A = this chain, B = another copy of it.
Amino acid sequence: NFVATGSYSDKIVAPYSVYKGKAALSVSPILPTFTKLDSGAIKVDRRGVMLLKFFPAVGERKYDWEKRQLFALSATEVGSMISLGPKDSCEFFHDPSMQSSNAGQVRKSLSIKPHADGTGYFVSLSVVNNILKTNDRVTVPVTSAEFAVMRTAFSFALPHIMGWDRYTNQLPASIVENRSKVVPQLLDSEWDK
Contact = CB atoms under 8 A, between A and B. Distances in A.
Interface of A: 3-14, 16, 18, 28-33, 37, 39-44, 46, 49, 51, 70-72, 75-80, 82-83, 90, 94, 96, 108, 143-149, 151-153, 155-160, 162-174, 176-177, 182-193
Which secondary structure dominates where chain A touches chain B? mixed
B173 A4 contact: yes
B51 A189 contact: yes
Contact of A185 (B33, B72, B177): B33
Nearest to A186: B11
A189 B72 contact: yes
A166 to B, nearest CB: 4
Contacts of A51: 188-190
B185 A148 contact: no
B8 A184 contact: no
A11 B4 CA distance: 14
A12 B42 contact: yes
A186 B9 contact: no
A49 B5 contact: no
Given A11-B39, A170-B6, A159 B157 contact: yes
A153 B168 CA distance: 12
B5 A176 contact: yes
Contact of A169 (B41, B70, B149, B172): B172
A188 B6 CA distance: 17
14 contacts: A4-B182, A7-B170, A11-B42, A11-B185, A14-B32, A18-B76, A42-B173, A70-B190, A76-B143, A79-B145, A82-B148, A96-B190, A160-B167, A169-B172
Given A14-B163, A33-B184, A158 B152 contact: yes
A166 B170 contact: yes
Contact of A71 (B5, B49, B176, B190): B190
